[in-house]
Structure 1
């Protein structure tokens, strides 16, 4: 009987222990607290949705009236009901990040302003969502003049609405936005620079802070008003323990008196949470979204968004995130997790 070489036997043993392609990397090390998704999206008209980034909205007067915007990196913008079904689709081309701000007045009526980076047209698509009808329409386009605008977010500084875009070269541009006679009008407000590839960003309107993710390096913050400085301050680094490259989506959630920055760690399919207080960010834990009886786990997550307060079936808030594979199928989608489950899993303080 021939004996296999030691190297061959070792390779066979290691192959037998290797994770399957669907196993999230955190299964190989210390597992974070686990939560399950309550809702997932499904698009019946496209078996290969190339999802990326979500944005949640609910009517403050009636939180049962709620939607979620979701970008498709190939085709356009989906608007989902909070049961995951498709409410509307706008075929805008390859979209990446999406963000919203309420109260944008057009023709004397407040609208929800929706902005999404368009990788094909090299700019930002703008939409208006009517809270009265729950319908979304195209409003205009803003060229960014920075090559491919890889990531984007929105903010408010006083009464001013802001657009922010970044790219793979580390450039960050910021504009003031207003409604002109024939559509959007923008004014350059400032330019910032980081060393590497960027994507995720989020604005803390209350604190006047812009957070930006440098994918292989970590999370940075800037004063939202460039007149107050353009020096980047470190928040968290990619260390392979808490955050595993790439840094992707970022969002902010207000839970009673507590305020949190949530950062997606694509390399190990987890979400890091930092408490924002007294001008600084303190790490409080991370979580992952695993299989439940009805909904599969979240892997290689990209965009993430949180809604503070009641929205749809979630009485105290929700977190939506991208999932790169819906079970064994080819379609990517979005999952929604009840904030109460995350708070309980991480033993965070009550509201």
Structure 2
């Protein structure tokens, strides 16, 4: 018993020392207006006509929750109320719908066992798809959208609260039929440790990879194209997190390079890995930096590299935090820390 107590105390001390060495917490440039219940996951839509008018779409995760749409000043400009525990949300561009290309947002509605699809920026609903049909445990949680750069086919990768290792995630091909978005199951995949759950999913469209957080275990990597099979390409970050492995987002620096940022939830930091992998091994990802932030218990997050105006000239990082709000961070603050910490890596 004494050995156990000493071990826990030592681990706690080590975590505190590590946090102290990280320096000051990055402060958000913008804090959004409050939602009604509980923020969980954001998505970012880039306005093609004027990037400074881009939008943040966030989930309010409760039985009578919904989607909230914010401008870059954090003001609520639209909402979709009355959803039964919307969990995660993602956006994609150029979906073929009734003879034209539109942008879409897709969210999981956990208590209805559905994903719902909306046209962006109007937020008009254009489809609702039942997911994990025939399964005992359904409860959809995580979602990420993949657009194949060659074929322009669009897929939704959906996770759930409970599921078996090997088929925890289901991948749906999205199409339009008679004015509604439909989904066809094209793949069931995804190893699971059995420790907690799988919620956060992120897709790198350009490089063709899916990443997801096996929360009590690590980060897993697969091909995004279902034609390439279900082989697990990587498992990383197993010793890099205080407890839960949470929200994943990908920052593109060009030429196939960039950063994968993953929420170290209980430490209130984000761990950073090279998007392109370590030198000589595209499927080996070692932590190169850890960014201390002002978010508390952050779950979902998203990032873009687009110039959004004077506040965010190199892009914005958006994270859920306690207090019914989202935080917007100036990417330049993150890049400064990454550069400082990764020099010795």
Task: Classify the TM-score, shorter chain.
Answer: 0.7 to 0.9
Higher CA-based Rg: 1
- SS of the aligned residue for 2:332 comes to helix
Contact 1:222 1:231 in 2 (8 A): yes
Structure 1: which 5+ runs fail to align? Answer: 1-18, 20-24, 290-296, 326-331
Contact 1:35 1:345 in 2 (8 A): no
Match of residue 44, structure 2, among 49, 53, 56:
56
List aligned pairs for 1:202-213, cutoff 5 A.
202-213=202-213
Contact 2:250 2:275 in 1 (8 A): no
Offset of 1:193 from its aligned partner?
3.2
Q: Which has the higher contact order (CA 8 A, sep 6+)?
A: 1
Offset of 1:224 from its aligned partner?
1.2
Partner of 2:303: 306
Aligned-partner Cα distance in 1 for 2:88–2:199? 8
- SS of the aligned residue for 2:46 comes to strand
Match of residue 65, structure 1, among 43, 53, 64:
53
Aligned-partner Cα distance in 2 for 1:86–1:67? 10
Runs of 4+ residues deviating >6 angstroms = none
Contact 2:98 2:179 in 1 (8 A): no
- SS of the aligned residue for 1:89 comes to strand
List aligned pairs for 1:156-195, cutoff 5 A.
156-157=147-148, 158-167=151-160, 168-170=162-164, 171-195=168-192
Offset of 1:314 from its aligned partner?
0.8
Partner of 1:14: none
Match of residue 143, structure 1, among 130, 146, 158:
130
- SS of the aligned residue for 1:287 comes to strand
Tell whether 2:313 aligns with 1:320: no
Comparing 81-90 with 188-197, greater Cα deviation is found at 188-197
Contact 1:57 1:311 in 2 (8 A): no
Match of residue 244, structure 2, among 243, 246, 257:
246
Aligned-partner Cα distance in 2 for 1:51–1:115? 16
Aligned length: 305
Aligned-partner Cα distance in 2 for 1:244–1:229? 32
Aligned-partner Cα distance in 1 for 2:33–2:15? 26
- SS of the aligned residue for 2:227 comes to helix
Comparing 211-220 with 264-273, greater Cα deviation is found at 264-273
Higher strand share: 1
Offset of 1:28 from its aligned partner?
5.9
Match of residue 290, structure 2, among 261, 277, 286:
286
Offset of 1:172 from its aligned partner?
0.5
Tell whether 2:68 aligns with 1:89: no
Distance of aligned partners of 1:118 and 1:28 in 2 relative to their CA distance in 1, 3 Å threshold: farther
Aligned-partner Cα distance in 1 for 2:176–2:227? 23
TM-score where L is the length of structure 2: 0.82
Distance of aligned partners of 1:324 and 1:201 in 2 relative to their CA distance in 1, 3 Å threshold: same
Contact 1:49 1:333 in 2 (8 A): no
Partner of 2:333: 341
Partner of 2:271: 272
Tell whether 2:63 aligns with 1:76: no
TM-score where L is the length of structure 1: 0.81
Offset of 1:256 from its aligned partner?
3.9
Contact 2:44 2:55 in 1 (8 A): yes
Deviations 1:269-309 (A, max 9, x none): 111111122633342211021xxxxxxx2110000100122
Aligned-partner Cα distance in 1 for 2:19–2:292? 12
Offset of 1:238 from its aligned partner?
3.3
Comparing 256-265 with 198-207, greater Cα deviation is found at 256-265
Offset of 1:311 from its aligned partner?
2.1
